[in-house]
């Protein structure tokens, strides 16, 4: 069982080790948060065709499939779809104008991503995140 930090303590929790990487391809752009082994644990994708920003948490979660995002100013739980092939992940899509994306990009240095059954992520709000959001606008 994965233990989550109490909701009111997430800003003080140790940062998740890793770094952001910005990538672009024929389908859009992405900000991937990579751990020390260069495996992605979370990403934001600008899906040019659908005109949406996908939030992706890699791993297998317990039901119900919900991604909770916490920023300095906003907390929201969003239904997500679990995918198993070829690597398991949860995904949800937001409109580029969704205020949650601005809350993530402008959060005081970090934001949190929580999924039941997976370790919580405490991620820095770096330029790669803002760049993907702006790519979709």
pLDDT in the model for residue 30:
96
Asked if the structure places residue 73 within a domain, the reply is yes
Asked if the structure places residue 126 within a domain, the reply is yes
Asked if the structure places residue 4 within a domain, the reply is no
Q: How many domains does the chain have?
A: 1
Q: How does residue 10 score in pLDDT terms, banded at 50, 70 and 90?
A: confident
**Conformation bin of residue 106: beta by default, left when phi > 0, alpha when psi is -120 to 50:** alpha
CATH number of the domain at 106, please.
2.60.40.1880
Asked if the structure places residue 86 within a domain, the reply is yes
Decide: 88 and 59 in contact? Cβ < 8 Å: yes
Whether 112 shows a pLDDT value over 60: the answer reads yes
Strands (DSSP E) found in the chain: 19-25, 28-34, 40-47, 52-58, 66-70, 75-79, 81-83, 89-94, 110-114, 121-124
Query: Each residue of 30-76: pLDDT tens digit?
Result: 999 999 888 999 999 999 888 899 999 999 998 899 999 999 999 99
pLDDT in the model for residue 3:
45
Asked if the structure places residue 14 within a domain, the reply is no
Asked if the structure places residue 2 within a domain, the reply is no
Asked if the structure places residue 118 within a domain, the reply is yes
pLDDT in the model for residue 26:
85
Asked if the structure places residue 7 within a domain, the reply is no
Domain containing residue 43: 19-135
């Amino acid at each position: 069982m994965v233990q989550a930090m109490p909701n009111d303590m997430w800003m003080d929790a140790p940062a998740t080790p890793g770094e952001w990487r910005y990538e672009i391809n024929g389908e859009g752009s992405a900000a991937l948060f990579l751990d020390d082994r260069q495996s992605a644990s979370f990403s934001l994708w600008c899906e040019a065709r659908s005109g949406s920003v996908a939030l992706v948490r890699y791993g297998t979660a317990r039901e119900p499939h919900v991604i909770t995002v916490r920023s300095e100013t906003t907390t929201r739980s969003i239904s997500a779809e679990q995918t198993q092939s070829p690597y398991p992940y949860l995904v949800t899509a937001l409109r580029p104008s969704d205020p949650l994306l601005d809350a993530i990009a402008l959060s005081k240095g970090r934001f949190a991503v929580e999924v039941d059954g997976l370790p919580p992520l405490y991620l820095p709000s770096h330029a790669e995140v803002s760049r993907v959001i702006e790519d979709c606008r």
